[in-house]
Amino acid sequence: MKDFETQLAAEKFQSTLRTAKGEARAYVPLSGATTLWFNTGTLCNIECLNCYIESSPSNDALVYITAAEVADYLDQISARNWPTTEIGFTGGEPFMNPEMLEMTRLCLSRGYQVLILTNAMRPMMRKSIQAGLLDLQNQFPDQLTLRVSLDHYSAEHHDTERGKGSYAITLKGMDWLRDNGFKMDVAGRSIFGDSDQDSRQGYGALFEARDYQIDAHNPAQTVLFPEMDERVDVPEITTACWDILDKSPDAVMCASSRMVVKRKGAEKPAVLACTLLPYTDEFELGETLEQAEADVYLNHPHCAKFCVLGGASCSA
């Protein structure tokens, strides 16, 4: 029996259309493209212990995207009549991209809500970036949100992931955002074994102590990401699972979002089905938003653990 289970596990996620048991694999249509993400590049000022995208000071597998390239995709949103209301920027560390402020202004000026994922450390705290952010905050006060990566509410666990002293530096950046009236969210992680309730209570105590206007019990403001270990055996999602789980494909992240990346050596950016799978060829849909309207087959362990069963989302 164990030999059969081992063989079955090895055969999972090998076929786009069928599971290892031969059942029809679940897929997700693009039912409402409300969020378009841009990966600003994989370079980061730090190297985390468990970074899903392998960002570091030396990883430039995804190179800096430019404001001109972002503008082209904003034009495509209009041309395709996508119902997009939110533009998200992730990295790497977005504020290492030299055109980050220009890209943000471009999106804000077109009326989009903008969400920037940042570690709130030195790249964000440079004087030129601070001045630019303050200018954007003054012009577009209700459109800009910064989601800060705070892996845990305690310094001990956060620093285990991100390096000694990083917790204090991040809180200093968050204090600056607080003092200047920026909207903030937090992204945490569940790797430390806390229950969801305990995690949210811990974050809530921290937010109250530092007067951060963040609701620890609102999953859109305090996002707790499940860990994404591809070595863990997870079930494949079949078309029958939607009824079994009482879940709609519309609830899965790829029903409402896409991500644009620029690969090192590529002439043009590419559009991906998922923000979590930047290196998986199957989830690259093409260079244009029109091509990116294709159905997404849930042929990856992250699809099951993170999105369908975990119920997580990168978007607000």
Contact 236, 12 (CB under 8 A): yes
pLDDT at 316 over 60: no
Task: Please report how the helices 166-179 and 196-210 are oriented relative to each other, as an axis angle in degrees rounded to 10.
Answer: 60
Q: Where are the domains of the chain?
A: 33-308
Q: Encode pLDDT of 196-214 as tens digits.
A: 999 999 999 999 999 999 9
33-308 adopts what CATH topology? TIM Barrel (3.20.20)
Q: Which residues contact 61 (CB under 8 A, 6 or more apart)?
A: 42, 54, 263, 264, 279
* First and final C-alpha spacing in the chain: 44
Stretch among 7-11, 254-258, 269-273 having the lowest mean pLDDT: 7-11
Whole-model pTM over 0.75: yes
Which of 245, 47, 272 is closest to 161 using CA atoms? 47
